[in-house]
Chain A
Amino acid sequence: MKNNTFIVIQREFMTRVSKKSFVILTILMPFIFAALIVVPLWLSSIKDDAQRTVVVVDRTAHYLSAFKDDKSYRFVPAAAMLPEYRSDTTEVEAVVNIEANLAQNPKAVKIYSRGEVSADLLSYVTNVLNEQVRRDKLQAYGVHGLDQIIEDVQATLEIGTVKWNDEGEESSSNTHIAIAAGFLFTFMIYMFVMSYGGMVMQSVMEEKTNRIVELMVSSVKPFQLMMGKIVGVALVGFVQLLIWGVMLAVILSLCSVAFGWDVAAMSEAQGAMMAGAQGTLPTMDTADAEMLMALLNLPFAELGIMFVLYFVGGYLLYASFFAAVGASINAQEDSSQFVMPVVLIMLFGLYAAMYSVENTDGPLAFWASMFPLTSPIVMMVRIPFDVPLWQELLSLGLLYGTALLFVWVGARIYRVGILMYGKKPSLREMLKWLRYK
């Protein structure tokens, strides 16, 4: 009877993995995600080929020359606002009407258009006029050669960030890369816990509503059945991660062939840079090189281990909760009452993670990464920024302690709930179930 848990795990795993939808979705998912990021970017980058006409009515005749035609807009001077600009047959996209000297009266400019004024036109016009007004004001001080002076004092700084490690060595780091990596892991934990936790609930409910559960518990202990489900579904998640990992590796290596990136050379160059020599890479400019190096400098081993630990802990906690809910209710519709609060907590975790990025050692980041219901989500954004070991251990300890408590409570509710039909139980009744023998 002891290997019954294993038999249950096997079934839960196999029925999911052998589904066509699983295979297809697993393979498509990275592409869907990539598409979600790339497509809007791409769409916004597409400009209309047609050059639109913008009429500039400049009563001061001072600003007109500042407007330069570009690919999207052609600026046409006009003496006055004509009624034909308003007609629906007009070719004119918008009319910029400047009525007075803007240095004295900043409100003396308006853009008229039949439709909504497009954001890039507005920002272009604003920039052009701002710049002109600034020059005019400077001119008014009458200092000779001020323009050149201003030009001269303006400097573009590029601030590189360098992190000291414990051995006192330097390594190039990139805050943006660290944020992105942290977010990726945070988001993955959030997604996985939600969708796989939901899967556990679905599976429990299916057995209950199919009424097969009574037959099941006559051969398997309810705890074995519940854990078999939780573990089986988790394994599906790991397989999915593994497939994605392999796909990522394949895609990266394909890219490196296609773009001539040489990862091995990269790490050598990095070594050279450490030694103080200015490493220059033949195929890549230094910005790209630094980015890649920052990527390589992420604490991958730590991130990986922590991801697995937080994934398992968080999943265990939420999955047992979902299992208990699935066992207690009789219809899908009843689930929202119990699931809503938990979704809210997880959403809070996600937002806390976003704000924690700005101050990874601040109080919000600290407490949210200690609180077991949010720690799996929040801690992942902090790890690329070096979290003290004691915090990691404390947070993990709290998480696993709570997870085990949830498993225990969940199992007691599950055990009674799966055999209860009829009306939806109240929370008070469910607490009573804890005491049943």
Chain B
Amino acid sequence: MHNSETFLSASHIVKRYAEHTALDDVSIEVQRGKIFGLLGPNGAGKTTLIRILNRITAPDSGHVVFDGHDFAPEDVARIGYLPEERGLYKKMKVGEQAVYLARLKGLSTQEAKQRLHQWFERFDIMPWWDKKLEELSKGMQQKVQFVITVLHEPSLLIFDEPFSGFDPVNAELLKREILALKEKGHTVIFSTHNMASVEDICDEMALIHRSKVALSGNVAEVKKRFRTGKYELVCVGDEQLVDTENYKVLSHVATDGVQRYLLHKAEGLTNSELVALLAQKAEIRHFSEQLPSMHEIFLKTVQSHEE
């Protein structure tokens, strides 16, 4: 089904805690150079899965393959992680702690300093190098945190709720940087319960609900799977459309000789067949299929599992 290469695959992951099962036979595949959205309501098991993919905890059973080999301790140097709970050393100087964290990811002090200078210049935070973190504004702290995440140029980036807590300006900046990272060939896992951001930037997705994968696949394909069969049609002309065996008119508004319809297509009819049929009847200005938003899909899936 996918012609691109798998970068990371987790198969049949099970993780139990004393009182509950956090992950129950969860499998995901992340494609190289793509952005993978990990969705799910709070408490579904996303954070546990992310911790397993960061080697912070080990699964009770299941298997992770990282870039073609069994997941190994050294691989963490190739992962950049932006946790949902952000935090740095408040009393430590910004530059100093960035170098420290970079060294823990395997960079030399020299290399870390050099790269940090570039990033700090780029984000306009160079003057804050020798300031304590607590002296920085929230927005600046977030920039520092982002720089620390990507500094060692990891093959895999894991962002847990990246936009939460970021102000709109920084959120936009972050989005741009994430897309830029993808362009450079980095693989990104993106965990969120904000469905809109998934539509914007994710290529693939998995929806985790109640410790299981409820839905997964290519974002476009998933949306297709949840087609509602509803179409928007705008045309000019006086003739009015009525229900036929091929489509039903759900609503109709006419203003200044412009007709707006909401149609429901009969099953078994392709889009082009529908357009052809409609073109015979009216002068088409606009025709579009109403695809459900990820938000709707999310709610629908979650609800269908609740029932």
Binding site for B on A (CB under 8 A): 1, 4, 7-8, 11, 15, 206-207, 210-221, 419, 421, 429, 432, 436-437
B237 CB within 8 Å of chain A: no
**A211-B160 Cα distance, complex, nearest whole Å:** 14
Ordered by A's residue number, 18 sampled pairs between the chains whose C-beta atoms are within 8 Å are: A1-B74, A15-B91, A210-B88, A211-B85, A211-B87, A212-B87, A212-B88, A214-B81, A214-B83, A214-B87, A215-B87, A215-B101, A215-B148, A218-B55, A419-B56, A437-B57, A437-B59, A437-B60
* B249: A residues at CB distance < 8 A: none
B18 CB within 8 Å of chain A: yes
Q: B104 contacts which of A211, A213, A219, A437 (Cβ < 8 Å)?
A: A219
Top 9 A-B pairs ranked by shortest CB distance?
A: A211-B87, A211-B85, A219-B104, A214-B83, A218-B81, A210-B87, A212-B87, A218-B54, A217-B56
Asked if A211 and B86 sit within 8 Å, CB to CB, the answer is yes
**A121-B88 Cα distance, complex, nearest whole Å:** 64
* B57: A residues at CB distance < 8 A: 419, 437
B282 CB within 8 Å of chain A: no
| Bitwise interface map of B from 12 to 54 toward A, beta carbon under 8 Å scored 1, else 0 | 0000011000000000000000000000000000000001001
Q: B83 contacts which of A218, A221, A421 (Cβ < 8 Å)?
A: A218
Size of the chain B interface, CB-CB below 8 angstroms: 32
User: Closest Cβ of chain A: how far from B11's Cβ, in Å?
Assistant: 17
| Bitwise interface map of B from 51 to 87 toward A, beta carbon under 8 Å scored 1, else 0 | 1001111111000000000000110110101010111
- Closest B residue to A221 using CB positions: B73
* A421: B residues at CB distance < 8 A: 85
Asked if A211 and B83 sit within 8 Å, CB to CB, the answer is yes
Further pairs besides A212-B89, A215-B87: 6, Cβ < 8 Å = A207-B89, A211-B86, A214-B83, A436-B17, A437-B57, A437-B59
Q: Give the residues from 178 to 211 in chain B that come closer than 8 angstroms, CB to CB, to chain A.
A: none
Which of A11, A219, A421 has most chain B Cβ within 10 Å?
A219
| Number of residue pairs A-B, CB distance < 8 angstroms | 66
B106 CB within 8 Å of chain A: yes
B92 CB within 8 Å of chain A: yes
User: Closest Cβ of chain B: how far from A419's Cβ, in Å?
Assistant: 7
* B113: A residues at CB distance < 8 A: none
B163 CB within 8 Å of chain A: no
Asked if A1 and B76 sit within 8 Å, CB to CB, the answer is yes
* B74: A residues at CB distance < 8 A: 1
B143 CB within 8 Å of chain A: no
**A89-B148 Cα distance, complex, nearest whole Å:** 78
User: Closest Cβ of chain B: how far from A103's Cβ, in Å?
Assistant: 75
**A219-B112 Cα distance, complex, nearest whole Å:** 15
* A220: B residues at CB distance < 8 A: 104
User: Closest Cβ of chain A: how far from B110's Cβ, in Å?
Assistant: 15
**A421-B84 Cα distance, complex, nearest whole Å:** 13
* A7: B residues at CB distance < 8 A: 100, 103-104
Q: A219 contacts which of B17, B18, B101 (Cβ < 8 Å)?
A: B101
- Closest A residue to B105 using CB positions: A219
* B79: A residues at CB distance < 8 A: 218
* A11: B residues at CB distance < 8 A: 100
